[in-house]
Amino acid sequence: MKKKKAKTGILLFMSLVLLTACQKAPEVSGDDEILRAKGPSEDAVEAVVNEEEPSETSAGTEDTAAETVSVVLGSGDSRMKIEAEVAAVPDVVNTLTMQAGNSLDEEALKNFLDPQGEVKDITEEVLAAEETERQRVAEIDEKLGQESSMVEMAGVGDDSRLALTDGNRKAVLFGKTGSSYEDALLLEKCYAAANKEEQELDLKDAEAGDPSFSLQDAKALLIRKLSFLGVEDVWLSNAYFCKQDDFFCYQMQFSPVVDGIPIAYSFGQQDITEVHPDGIAWVCEEGVANIGLWNCCMEQVSVEENEKILSFHKVQEVLETYLNDGSLQCVEEVPFSTAELVYYVNLKDGKLELAPVWNIHMDLGEYVEYAGETGRSDFIWNIYVDAVTGELVMTQ
């Protein structure tokens, strides 16, 4: 495990944004599409996609074991190394359209709160606090002679709020797509532990954390809590082990899993103008101390059937094509250590489209370290490839 500077401040900030963020979806025309790369490789990529491949390399085989991939693609100055465990994927993964959930009501929020005493509705107090904060920021902006500095994260849903408390625990439902939860007493202990000691965990280690209550135990406890809001599974993007004396807890950042496929995680600086279904949580053996959810409480409204998902064998051929025609500029020195099938989110007419893509990326820490040592930032480290067409969806 690696030492990591405590992120208490970041999570406190995100908790504030959770309650002050505007949840209305940005105005997007029906013609707005994901920006996809078009270049001289288009015909070559189409040929790769349409070519029949050997059955032993096709997606959706009965063998569910992960495949170890170790390969160098490209030539000359633009080469990429992939060293990753690639899980088997279904033969077909459909494109889904999701909208704000309609089943979240006061009863669901009360179950999520799991009160230990008398429950009080504090919705008006929460709305008043939000308005007070808006006015405070507006007054500061006016004195400084600047435009509004209020942070407003893009989202779907509406401006509705519902907030309940038992005096110690508090749960808030906002926009019918997000929620927050706090156990004040437990959270205070978690903050103290994070300020004392915090270590980044290896998510691939099944026994990460303390053996008496591992990271996987904490994740299971979190999922049980989230199930009251209709979130049945999550994918961890990072996690930290925090300890003070005999008390320890876990900080987790996660995204929802839909039909067994995780929603793509936003690496690094999150663009608040785009919709990112994700969440944060603090969990200890005593229970869940804190949860923040953004755009996660959704329900499916339509399905677009895809004929076939590209196997990772074909994805490698597609990547080779993009490297050769200059669409991708990579370095060989840092390997792409993760390759997985995820859902890429696109906002359309106030709803979220979840489209299957292959995400191939370097370890963020290794990328930052190499960029710092070499002074280079002109190479791609994170790639999304449409899992149906082979087109580049997005690169970083």
Q: What share of the chain is helix, strand, coil (3-state, %, to 5)?
A: 25, 35, 40
**Rounded CA separation 354/165 (Å):** 34
Over residues 102-112, the pLDDT tens digits come to 788 999 999 99
Q: Is 228 within 8 Å of 39 (Cβ atoms)?
A: no
Over residues 145-186, the pLDDT tens digits come to 888 887 776 677 788 899 999 999 999 998 888 999 999 999
Residues facing residue 83 across a β-bridge = 70
Q: Mean pLDDT per 10-residue run, the chain (396 residues)?
A: 40 38 35 45 86 63 75 92 95 92 89 97 95 92 86 75 97 92 98 95 90 96 96 95 97 95 76 81 98 92 92 96 93 96 90 95 92 93 96 91
Task: Please name the residues in contact with 319: beta carbons below 8 A apart, sequence gap of 6 or more.
Answer: 73, 74, 80, 328, 360, 383, 385
**Rounded CA separation 226/215 (Å):** 16
